[in-house]
Amino acid sequence: MSSSAVHPEIEVILFDVGGVLLTNGWDHLERAAVYGHFQLDASDQAEIEARHPDPYDAWERDAISPDAYLDQVIFFKPRPFSREEFVRVMKQASQPIPDSARGTLEALAASNHQRFQRMLGLLNNESRLLHEYRMETYGLSGLFQVQFSSCYLGLRKPDQAIYRRALDILGLPGERVLFLDDRAGNVAAAMHSGMRAIQFTGEASLRASLESLQIL
């Protein structure tokens, strides 16, 4: 039996973004950096963090606007800084990460000479505000043919529904889709949905995994 019969050829590779290509968009480290920039004291930070989870879940699913999130989490009391200034600093918290998968992504995107051209896409959790800023600022949109972001699908990882929705839209069985994410829980959820998945721990190990799958 051929290896292709045992392992169907992968037609789509989906990348997470935060922790794989860039810093996370608005996770605890990014929030802490922004709180420090605005010199928010410990009690204020604790109150903000207590308010954060539910509005953030809704914001990442595009169920509420950026202003609604900020009203509930940051501007529930007067601040010595403006909403526009806060958003500017929030955006600036997004940065490239060392040892990212960017080089691998670019190599895959440039490999038009391959016998089998794979579709490249993303599957991430992000608010529309930050997702679109990150795609444009770091030139990622041009590397992807499809974007399965929580802000577009109204679903978030590791909910099984987001993986199933991506497969439905692609019209492919899970074994023909490879998902890359730095978080073990998201990788496990993708595998439970039927996708093949790799936990990203660095570019060298990723390249080795892709070479073993005869993708690179």
Q: What is the CATH number of the domain that holds 79?
A: 1.10.150.240
Q: Which of 41, 69, 92 is the last residue of a domain?
A: 92
Whether residue 176 is found in the same domain as residue 102:
yes
What are 16-67's pLDDT values in tens digits?
999 999 999 999 999 999 999 999 999 999 999 999 999 999 999 999 999 9
Measured N-to-C along each axis, helices 66-73 and 83-92 cross at an angle, to the nearest 10 degrees, of 100
Whether residue 132 is found in the same domain as residue 33:
no
Whether residue 145 is found in the same domain as residue 132:
yes
pTM above 0.85, yes or no: yes
Confidence band of 111 (pLDDT split at 50, 70, 90): confident
Count Cβ atoms below 10 Å from residue 211 Cβ, excluding itself. 10
**Into how many domains does the chain fold?**
2
d(CA 200, CA 124): 14
Whether residue 86 is found in the same domain as residue 147:
no
Whether residue 110 is found in the same domain as residue 76:
no
Whether residue 18 is found in the same domain as residue 32:
no
Whether residue 138 is found in the same domain as residue 204:
yes
Average pLDDT of the segment spanning 88-107: 97
Task: Please give the structure tokens belonging to residue 119.
Answer: 């579709």
Whether residue 139 is found in the same domain as residue 112:
yes
Whether residue 19 is found in the same domain as residue 118:
yes
pLDDT exceeds cutoff 50 at 5: no
CA atoms within 13 A on the CB side of 188: 3
- Residue 87 belongs to domain spanning: 28-92
pLDDT exceeds cutoff 50 at 196: yes
Whether residue 12 is found in the same domain as residue 53:
no
Sign of CA dihedral 184, 185, 186, 190: positive
pLDDT for res 8: 73
d(CA 141, CA 71): 30
pLDDT exceeds cutoff 90 at 183: yes
